A and B are shown apart, each in its own frame.
Chain A
Amino acid sequence: MIRLKARTKIMAALGVAVGIAAWLAATTEPSDWRYPKLLLTQLPKMPFRYFV
């Protein structure tokens, strides 16, 4: 079992969150903005949710 430090985990969670944001930005048409907006408003909360 690999054990990671909390800092590493936060960085990994942030990395995934930023990755998702980049993916969304690349794949979303301007007319479909509500889902990305929902996710973007949730993005800062995701690293914390990862620990729940």
Chain B
Amino acid sequence: MPDYDVVVIGGGIGGLTTAALCQKAGMKTLVVEQADRIGGCCSTFVTPEGFHFDVGASVVEVTRSLEELFKRLGLSREDYVPLVPVDPIYDYCDNTRGVRFAYPTSVEETAKVIAEFSPEDARAFLKFAEDYAPKIRELVDNFFYAPSLGFLDTLRLIVKYPGMLTVLPMFVTTHQKIVARYFKHQDVLASMAFQSFYAGLPPDMCAGLYAVVGLLEHDGIYYPKKGGMITIPAGIKQAFEDLGGETRMGARAVRVMVENRRAVGVELWDGTEITAGNVVGAINAKKLYMDMIGREHIPWHVWRGVESLVLSMPCPMIYLGVDYEPPLRAHHTLTLTDPRAMNDYWSNYYLKGKLYEKDGRIEVMGLVSWASRVDPTLAPPGKHVLTHMGLAPYNLAGNDWDRFKERYIDLAIETIERYIIPDLADHVVYRDMATPKDLERMLLHPGGAVYGIQTDLSHMAVFRPANRSKCIRNLYLAGASTHPGGGVPAVVAGGIITGELVVKDNG
């Protein structure tokens, strides 16, 4: 008799979702998590000074997958993961040109905001929403929850939801092409462009799908009522444990035990062997196959596929505690998202291991998140927390992240001062950052990659690592690097797919 029916490697959103569903189906399930904190990229840490910072993820765009999960668990999402809406969705700010506008949740109100400086683009925005919002909703409602193990699954999905066919062209065209078809004003284009980096690619190389994903934000974006983003994995973990599941923290898995191409358990860093009927790898799929299973168990053509997977772009995170209420207007504020600059950044800087330069000065592109606007308890009284999610290469040409870290924080603060908050440096009382290398060390997350594996057509659906292994029996995968992809809502949806496959396969 194995020790467990299911052992899940990784206590991130993906692993916890899968574990909760297996436990709900009566399977004895264990989650092993290497860190001493749950949630991986979607988590929150506390400093000795009392600042609570989100490690990575700073908002949830689509809550339906969380609702679906808790419905399947027979529990109330609200009881376990209380969320509040965040409105406006984001602020676009460029003080160097005196430009500032914020997009509210309502599509009509957003059009009014755009109309103030570009009536033509305001009409285009309404048309854009009319053309694409139903399509993107259909995609998310269907594609997100259906397994994509092979072409037959794709065919089944299309037969079941023929409307999916209208979505397919969005995969072969680019973000830039779709947006340019509707909008002309430079600031509107810039306010839309950053969505492409959600896929880890610039607007002219990113699937058109990501141009429309932003419309989902107009259905509402959410943040935990109290406690920061860790509230989401902590709520799922609580549900899992209330159902009888077991979590072991500080337990790093080093090997998936495989016998005759069948997963039979997991070996931990201290040599402990845990046997299980099924193993779920809810960590980076490339790392799972290459480092924890090994070539000897994997057919050559699968190995070639695994080797070929491209990691997504990393996102360094800066954590700032400030001693006043920052002059911001939204949970998220964008800096430097001109699409031309983003395209230029990719080829002339990112791929060469360099940081973006404008007028001979390094500038740090990214997004400032102000979490204590929603939840003031995230900072000591009178103080606030800001995080900056940037774009930077994993390997810095001629430099090293550990040496460059403090300088990068300085550069980011200077950029934020120039574009958004003029006196920021005077108010910073706490500063730290997680470089791509830190994220890799903390989360064992190769390359510090924001979505595990790049999200382009060649890494999507049947070409993304499958939720049920195609070469090792009783091995399943969950998390950002599997179908349907990265981001909290997609990872929950993927965890649902994986959980349901494990339960179904085990009768």
Measured CB to CB, the residues of A under 8 A from B are 2, 9, 12-13, 16, 20, 23-24, 27, 32, 34-35, 38-39, 42-43, 45-46, 48-52
Contacts and interface: CB of A to CB of B under 8 A. Distances in A.
Given A35-B205, A52-B289, 15 more contacts: A20-B172, A32-B204, A34-B347, A35-B204, A38-B458, A39-B456, A43-B458, A45-B304, A45-B305, A49-B309, A49-B458, A49-B459, A50-B150, A51-B470, A52-B309
Contact of B305 (A27, A38, A51): A51
A46 B83 CA distance: 39
Contact of B458 (A2, A23, A27, A45): A45
B305 A16 contact: no
B196 to A, nearest CB: 11
Contacts of A23: 172
A50 B305 contact: yes
B463 A46 contact: yes
Nearest to A6: B301
19 contacts: A2-B152, A12-B151, A24-B172, A27-B173, A32-B177, A34-B204, A35-B174, A38-B456, A39-B457, A39-B458, A42-B308, A42-B457, A42-B458, A42-B459, A46-B458, A48-B301, A50-B463, A51-B299, A52-B289
Contacts of B306: 52
A51 B308 contact: no
B397 interface: no
A49 B308 contact: yes
A52 B470 contact: yes
B151 A45 contact: no
B309 A38 contact: no
A16 B285 contact: no
B466 interface: yes
Contacts of B301: 48, 51
B308 A48 contact: yes
Contacts of B471: 51
B465 interface: yes
Interface of B is mostly: helix
A6 to B, nearest CB: 8
Nearest to B343: A34
B335 interface: no
A3 B458 CA distance: 24
Nearest to B306: A52
Contact of A52 (B176, B285, B343, B456): B285
Interface residues of B, number: 38
B310 to A, nearest CB: 8
A10 to B, nearest CB: 8
Contacts of A13: 151
B206 interface: yes
B302 interface: yes
Contacts of A35: 174, 204-207
A48 B456 contact: no
B503 to A, nearest CB: 18
Interface in B415-470: 456-459, 462-466, 470
B172 A38 contact: no
Given A38-B205, A39-B457, A49-B459, A32 B309 contact: no
Interface in B21-76: none
Nearest to A15: B151
A49 B305 contact: yes
Contacts of B172: 20, 23-24, 27
Interface string B172-203: 11101100000000000000000000000100
Q: Which of A13, A16, A20, A38 has the most CB of B within 10 A?
A: A38
Among A23, A32, A51, the one with the most B-chain Cβ atoms within 10 Å of its Cβ is A51
A31 B207 CA distance: 16
For A16, A24, A35, A43, the residue with the greatest tally of chain B CB atoms inside 10 Å of its CB is A35
B280 to A, nearest CB: 16
B226 to A, nearest CB: 40
A20 B176 CA distance: 19
Contacts of B169: 27
3 tightest A-B CB contacts, nearest first: A42-B458, A48-B305, A45-B308
A20 to B, nearest CB: 7
Interface in B137-194: 150-152, 169, 172-174, 176-177
Contacts of B177: 32
Chain B CB within 10 Å, residue with most, of A9, A23, A39? A39
